[in-house]
Structure 1
Amino acid sequence: MRADSATLDKTRLGYARLMVEVEVGQEFPGKIYFKDEKGNDVCVCVEYEWKPAVCGSCKGIGHMKDVCKKPSAAPRIIQEIPSTPLFGGVTFHNSDHLPVPTILIIQRVRQEHAPVSHLRPGTSYKAAVSPTKDNASTVLDKGSQWKGINNNVHHPGGRVWIIWFPHVFNVQLIADSDQHITVEVSDINSGDVFWYTVVYGSNSDSERLTLWEQLNQIKDQCVKPWCICGDFNSVLDYNERLGREVIWNEIKDFRQCVEYCEVIDIVAHGSFFTWNNKQVPSTRVFSSIDRCLINIEWLQMFPDSSAYFMNEGTFDHCPCICYRRNEATTRKTSFKYFNMWSLDPQFKEVVAT
């Protein structure tokens, strides 16, 4: 059993996060019973950010029955992307660390959208891609309704693709490199104009230094709402990885870049750890290397924007959907604090003042 630093230090008011190693083939418990520090019996319900896919045919791990290649090589069924309010950005990564493109799909769709848990193969949604090297090209080949750009002039095959509906968005290239593409996006209907940077950071620390410098240069030019999303291949805080210790030297450069660019994490839901190495429990590593960062101008234009990280399934990364909404909604939130604070002799005095 392991816990992150925020849980151990009691610095986060949300909920405790523990990692418990179990056998992938066993039944996952819905409740855990334990005794607290006072000897009381406590029952806690368990919520799973991810469960392994188990094939109902061959009982193998990592795929479902409808894509099982044993005994016959059945065609792979790719679930389509759900409709999303106003704006959707989705990144897909292959699990073999080959230079497979990161794909951002910009789309304007109907307000109603199917929950991710209700997706069905064959249902008609706005876009569908598969995790192969030719997936972006396949989407563009389906018809003239799509337009796209990539950075294959900087890297063989291209590491980043951006695809959009030209009758809904005008997209102009601002800058690109082997690790990012930055575009200016204009919503034809609403008139909203913003900058969007899609990142696929290198596995090399030294090569990522170039990416941080390029983002700093973009910041110097950008005066519009700006969102930076994708796979940064670097965590930003000590609690963003389990299974291997985070050291200061590996996060300091990314932190300096974030501070210089004056961006913050967008409100995010879904999986906290967006990548794992898919290895056995003894060597399993979870980390949060995928994120969406926004500047103050973005927050002012889209005050209720958010991101949702879906379960990774057979990928090693969690696909992400970005939502932008022009009007903030009022949410009811509960007041939270640590009960132990009330035990301090000066608690009431401090609260009263």
Structure 2
Amino acid sequence: MKALGWNCQGMGRSLRSGKMSHLTRMIHSTKPQVVFVSEIKSSKVKTSDLVTRFNMNDAIVVPSRRRSGGLWLMWNDDLQVHIHSTNFHVILAIVVNISTNQKFGLVCIYGDPYHRQTSDIWNMIADFVYDNPSLPMVCIGDMNNILYDMDKSSSNINRSHMCAFRHLVKQCGFFDLGYSGPAYTWINKRFSSKPTFERLDRCLANAEWCVAFPISNVYNMRIIHSLSDHAVILLSTEGPVRKVKCSFKFENWWLK
């Protein structure tokens, strides 16, 4: 199974824009079963438009508010997708892979860039997780938050936001799936001589997901500045197991 995620920062003037042509090429080359696109900045596109333009089986649209936000979730006929709930920041769904009959939960997120609704967003996700115990869960999207110091290229880090986000992720039983490719998925200034880079886009999963999909690799694509400040990310449960070298670290919260 493959899932593609991208914060496109505006779809452009139409579904034939340069950005949307790039998305079409990415879908054609990576062949994902499900595609999540955030920050569309448009409320004019309909589900049928997406199905036709991107050659998908079905889709759901969460319209933007004026020129802010907007979400698309598209999938092909390999999957049965049952939408659980949606709002401005989240799409929650129960997915079944038709060929394997494997069932899993899908969380697609566009995090609050102003950090005012972060707790509400993640409490909604936590309720979804708790209502579906023992179900493999994966979360993909632009989190608009970092988990660790290494996720930002500068030392100017809001540790309060970072620690709060880490706590919210842990309460869902999620952990980071890691990545291959460039270390950062977002840049703040396209033409700055010393830009700030962050890893805002990522995939999270629970332990049940790793049991069901022991081969789960995340690929960070290159940021194309002329299209978006965010990179496309690809989750794949196919191919070789990626070996990660890391040291063991004990978390005090485990004692609780």
Answering whether residue 152 of structure 2 is matched by residue 212 of structure 1, we say no
- Of 208-217 and 154-163, deviating more is 154-163
Q: Which residue of 1 aligns with 2:6?
A: none
Identity of aligned residues (%): 22
The answer to whether the 8 A contact 1:90-1:321 is kept is no
**1:58-82 alpha-carbon deviations (Å, 9 max, x no partner):** xxxxxxxxxxxxxxxxx84834024
Is structure 2 residue 197 aligned with structure 1 residue 293? Answer: no
Q: Which residue, 160, 163, 169 being the options, matches 2:79?
A: 169
**Equivalent runs, 1:130-145 vs 2, <5 Å:** 134=45, 138-142=49-53
The equivalent of 1:203 in structure 2 is 113
Counterparts of 1:208 and 1:335, CA distance in 2: 31
User: Does the residue aligned with 1:281 lie in a helix, a strand or coil?
Assistant: coil
> In the TM superposition, what is the alpha-carbon distance from 1:209 to its structure 2 partner?
1.9
Indicate if the aligned counterparts of 1:185 and 1:195 stay in contact, CA closer than 8 A.
Answer: yes
Q: 1:100 aligns with which of 40, 51, 66?
A: 40
Partner of 1:273: 184
Q: Does 1:322 align with 2:235?
A: yes
Query: Which runs of structure 2 are paired with 1:223-302 in the superposition (5 Å)?
Result: 223=133, 224-243=135-154, 245-282=156-193, 284-302=195-213
**CA shift digits 1:227-285 (9 cap, x unpaired):** 00100111111121124511321112211111111111114111211000134435511
Measured at CA, do residues 89 and 310 of structure 1 come closer, stay the same or move farther in structure 2, by a change above 3 Å?
Answer: farther
Distance 1:237 1:335 in 2: 17
The residue that corresponds to 2:252 in the other structure is none
Deviations 1:76-108 (A, max 9, x none): 4834024447x5555556xxxxx426xxxxxxx
Relative to structure 1, the CA distance from residue 173 to residue 136 in structure 2 (aligned partners, 3 Å threshold; closer, same or farther) is: closer
What amino acid sits opposite 2:163 in the alignment?
K
Q: Which moved more, 1:156-165 or 1:293-302?
A: 156-165
- Cα distance per residue 1:182-210 (max 9 Å; x no partner): 11111111111111111001111122221
Amino acid at match of 1:217: D
> Do 1:266 and 1:293's aligned partners in 2 also have CA atoms closer than 8 Å?
yes
| Structure-1 separation of matches of 2:145 and 2:57 | 32
Scaled by the length of structure 2, the TM-score of the pair is: 0.75
Aligned to 1:191: 101
**Could you say what the CA RMSD is over the residues aligned between the two structures, in angstroms?**
3.3
Where do 4+ consecutive residues of structure 1 move more than 6 Å?
333-337
Residue type at the aligned position of 2:220: F
Q: Which stretches in structure 1 are left out of the alignment for 5+ residues?
A: 1-74, 94-98, 102-130, 338-353
d(CA) in 1 for partners of 2:55 and 2:195?
A: 43
Q: Which has the higher contact order (CA 8 A, sep 6+)?
A: 2
The one-character-per-residue Cα deviations of 1:202-233 (angstroms, maximum 9, x if unpaired) are 11112222112112212211221100010011
Q: Measured at CA, do residues 217 and 200 of structure 1 come closer, stay the same or move farther in structure 2, by a change above 3 Å?
A: same
- CA–CA separation in structure 2 for the residues paired with 1:142 and 1:159: 18
Taking structure 1 as the reference length, the TM-score comes to 0.55
Amino acid paired to 2:157: V
Q: Separation in 2 of the partners of 1:155 and 1:222? A: 31
Q: Secondary structure at the match of 1:162?
A: strand
Residue 133 and residue 236 in structure 1: after superposition, are their counterparts in 2 closer, same or farther (change >3 A)?
Answer: farther
Larger Rg: 1
Stretches of structure 2 that go unaligned for 5 or more consecutive residues are: 1-16, 248-256
Cα distance in 2 for residues equivalent to 1:334 and 1:221: 32
The alpha-carbon deviation at position 138 of structure 1 amounts to: 3.8
**Structure 1 residue 141: deviation in Å?**
3.5
Amino acid at match of 1:324: T
CA distance in 1, matches of 2:232, 2:56: 23
